[in-house]
Amino acid sequence: MIKKIIPIALFLSLISCDKKFNDLGSEVLPEILVQGKKATYPAKVSHDLLDVVQTNAGGVLQLGERPNNLFGSISTNVVSQFNLSAYPPKFGNFTQKREIDSTFNEMETITDVWLEIPFFTNRNDADNDGLIDAYDIDDADVNSDSDGDGASDIIERNAGTDPTNPDTDGDGILDGNDTETKNPNPDKKLYDIDSLFGNREAIFDIEVTKLNYFLRQLDPDANFEQFQPYYSNFNFNSYKGQQLASETMQLDFDEIDVDEEDAKNLTPRLRVPLDKSFFQQQIFDKEDATELSTAVLFQDYFRSVSIETRNFSMPLLMLLDFNKMTIRVAYTYKAKKANTNPVEIEEKSKEFLINASALKFNTINRTVPASPVLNEIVTTSEPSKIALGGGLGSVATIHLFEDNESLEAIKGKKDSWLFNEANLIFYVDKQTVEQYGLTLPERLYLYNADTNAAILDFSQDVTTTKKHNKVVYGGFLTEDDDKQYYKIRITDYLRNIVKKDSTNAPLRLAVADAFATQSPVPMAKAKNTSLNKIPATTISTPKSVVFVGPNPTDPALENLKLQLEVYYTEIE
């Protein structure tokens, strides 16, 4: 018997397309392999609109307003519980009891109170020239001169001058010619501010209010064994208590100088001044009070806080780092000077933090209804388009092998086909996206619609690059010539159906943020008759997209329609 040699190109193709080739029967590899082939199968799509969703399931919170000509405009507010940074708290050097026992009054007096919510930032520096990419005129050239002063960015980094200021010391001589330049702010850091959508120069009103509403950690309807869900339609107006702030603001992206010795400057953040008298009376003057002694008692005492924005001069939606949200209280107190006789009293300064707890959530209000076009897309039984939106948007359900005959035919081939790769490719309907001015999501998430669990291709994929993880699974925006698409691999999902007779479950598609880790995607509840959970990242993603559906009406889009693509090698 003459042995046949597998062509090198085909061999490499099998390896590159399928990392699990050796698990699929290579021990009985036949003698003759015919050239790899491609088969396509139709997909059926249905939609679900999202009207009320859980917003405390681990997603990023939003604050502000976001217009959308297709899905409708929304405004978002935040409700949060808070914790003291120490129980019981100690203001100054001594507890209140010790002050009473020693008959020395520290007279702790609040000087400033701020609500602080940091921006998401990065300091990426691709060419390592000391100037972050956001300010670098050419982030691939270490010798670029971003401020045009005759000194390259790398030279300015080494000299300690400011690569964004052509005259660092302001003496009228450009840094490239100045032999005696001294940087007045050598510790200055620049940041690239992420996750702001709209006009960053918008002026808006912000209101912070203490609520007389206790946020439960655990759900009594689930026998206190699950976290209490809070939903986007939560109405806190009837629970409003004392107003803590009412300000007109504009964002400031500079780091915040901290005067304390050896203290680091604060990263850029939304910083709102709060009512000093409230915190003096309700927190500091109650230093030894029972209600400040434990987290449970304090949460019942302080309850919760709402943060609202309105009256934007231009639309702006802010995704902020609410996990690091804090109320920063600056105060002075009296202290005895060491080694003085008679004793001398001095005034000292200190800060106390009241941090946001893990329990916080968004309210989302639709301020402008969705376009009638969206209703046409999502209600038709044979859609020509697929519409996905984050927040109060929509998700799509994809059904494969609806006729069952095609599936049975493939199962009949399981001994004569090697399944190399199976993909769903979602081509962006560029005309519709441009017509409605949509901002495309970074990524899509495709998962089992029956179980809400990740499919095998996602859960087993540990590939990563500098820009993406789950690289083989895919789902990230790709541009190829004039086409934009998202390709998702479902090879193992299909193999399980064909070879192991697994259930042909429908798949659900949703917009998502970039997958931060290799962990499963957190799910949130949806108050909807046809689906019960959606990815938490879908709620916090203020982006949307329209794809060419499985039944395009425009013949020019026929080759971009959604269908299952299967690549296989036929065995003789």
- Tens digit of each residue's pLDDT (9 = 90 or more) over 350-408: 999 999 999 999 999 999 999 999 999 999 999 999 999 999 999 999 999 988 888 99
How large is the average pLDDT for residues 229-256?
96
Q: Are residues 516 and 424 in the same domain?
A: yes
CA distance 567 to 427: 19
Map residue 158 onto helix, strand or coil: helix
> 3-class SS at 408?
helix
What average pLDDT does this structure show over 484-505? 94
290 & 381 share domain: no
Are residues 387 and 421 both part of a single domain?
yes
Share of the chain above pLDDT 70, in %: 93
Residue 394 lies in a domain: yes
The verdict on 406 and 315 lying in the same domain is no
For residue range 151-173, what is the model confidence (pLDDT) as tens digits?
888 888 888 888 888 888 888 88
Residue 478: its H or E element: strand 474-480
pLDDT per residue over 442-494, tens digit each?
Answer: 999 999 999 999 999 999 999 998 888 999 999 999 998 889 999 999 999 99
Torsion angle, CA of 163/169/171/177, rounded to 10 degrees? -40
Domain assignment present for residue 24? The answer is no
1 falls within a domain: no
Q: Is residue 211 part of a domain?
A: yes
Within 465-562, residue ranges assigned H as helices are 491-499, 536-539
Q: Do residues 393 and 366 make contact, with C-beta atoms less than 8 angstroms apart?
A: no
Pair (184, 280) in one structural domain? no
SS (H, E, C) 77-92: EEEEEEEECCCCCCCC
Q: Per-residue pLDDT averaged across 305-311, rounded?
A: 98
Looking at the structure, do residues 373 and 299 belong to the same domain, yes or no?
Answer: no
Peptide bond into 88 cis (omega under 30): yes
- The pTM score is 0.87
- The verdict on 323 and 443 lying in the same domain is no
pLDDT band at 261 (very low <50, low <70, confident <90, very high): low
Same domain, 176 and 257: no
Residue from 390, 424, 392, 411 nearest 45 by CA: 424
CB 421 within 8 A of CB 489: yes
Give the mean model confidence (pLDDT) for residues 10-19. 35
pLDDT band of 99, cuts 50, 70, 90: confident
Give the residue among 217, 246, 207 at the shortest CA–CA distance from 81.
217
| Pair 277, 295 in one domain | yes
Measure the CA angle with vertex 93, ends 92 and 98; round to 5°.
Answer: 105
- Rounded alpha-carbon distances, angstroms, from residue 155 to 181, 189, 405, 437, 536: 13, 17, 69, 42, 45
Note whether 114 and 51 are same-domain residues.
no
Confidence of residue 90 (pLDDT cuts 50, 70, 90): very high
132 and 220 both lie in a single domain:
no
Number of domains in the chain: 3
pLDDT band at 1 (very low <50, low <70, confident <90, very high): very low
Q: Quick one: tokens of 521?
A: 């995607």
DSSP code at position 200: T
User: Residue 559: pLDDT above 70?
Assistant: yes
| Local confidence band at 262 (pLDDT 50, 70, 90 cut-offs) | low
Among residues 365, 398, 425, the one where a domain terminates is: 365
112 and 242 in a single domain? The answer is yes
244, pLDDT greater than 60: yes
AA identity, residue 137: I
In the predicted structure, residue 18 carries a pLDDT above the cut 70:
no
CA distance linking residue 151 with residue 148, whole number of Å: 7
Average pLDDT over residues 532-540: 92
- Has residue 8 been placed in a domain? no
The domain in which residue 90 lies consists of 74-121+193-365
Nearest-angstrom CA–CA distance, 148 and 150? 6
